Structure formats: C-alpha cells, structure tokens
Amino acid sequence: MTETEKTTIDPAAQSDLSEDTREVLVELLTQHQALLTELRWAYGQLERLQEVDIAALKQRVSELEQRRSRGKTALAASATASSKMRKRVEFALQHPDKAARAAGRKLSRPFERAARRAGLSR
C-alpha cells in the first residue's frame, strides 16, 4: 500500500465506522445516564439516612440534657440537705445544751399550740 492508499478510506467503510462509533457513543451515554440516575438515588438515600441520624442525635442530646438538669437539681438538693445536716451535727457537738433546748422547743411547739387552743396551759 502506498501512502495515498492508507489515507484514503472507502466512503462505505467510513460510513460503517461512523455508524459503529455512533452506536458505541449512544450506548456509553445510556450507561452514563443510568449511572447518574443510580447516583442520584444513592445520594437521596444517604440524605434520608443522615436526616434520620440527625433527628436521633438531637433526641438523644435533649434526653441527656434533661437527665443532666434533673441530676443537677437532685445533687444540689442533696448537697444542700447534707450541708444543713452537717451544720446541725457540728452545732450539736459544740453546744449540746443549746441544741437540746432548741430541739425541745421545736418538738413542743405543735403540742403547745394545740394545748392553748384547747384551753390548757403549763
């Protein structure tokens, strides 16, 4: 074959080649569209899963915040109660007579009121 024979292609062969090329391109574009559709579906699924996960995390955070706030209140109340109790015990140890008199006054108050209402006195 000479140089001119190599560069010259039969028009019928060129038509067959271009038809085959066109078929390949159409098939590739069809596959490309199918892949894009599948990717859109996968991203949609991923977004839905993320939304569900985010909602679950928000709910978990709110539950933990509520538990923490309840825990702080309970801890603060128990700390306050134990602090008051500690002070009373320290006072009773340092001043046993005063503590006994104060306790006696606190215990007798309700009975004294009821006795006064009934017309009784000491």
Q: What is the pLDDT of residues 83-113, one digit of tens each?
A: 777 888 888 888 888 888 887 777 666 666 6
Name the residue with higher pLDDT: 28 or 15. Answer: 28
The model carries a pTM of 0.39
Whole-number Cα distances in Å, 104 to 92, 107, 111: 13, 5, 11
Name the residue with higher pLDDT: 122 or 55. Answer: 55
Average pLDDT over residues 73-85: 70
Q: From CA 85, how far away is CA 79, in angstroms rounded?
A: 10
**Which residues, including other chains, have CB under 8 Å from residue 60's CB and lie 6 or more apart?**
none
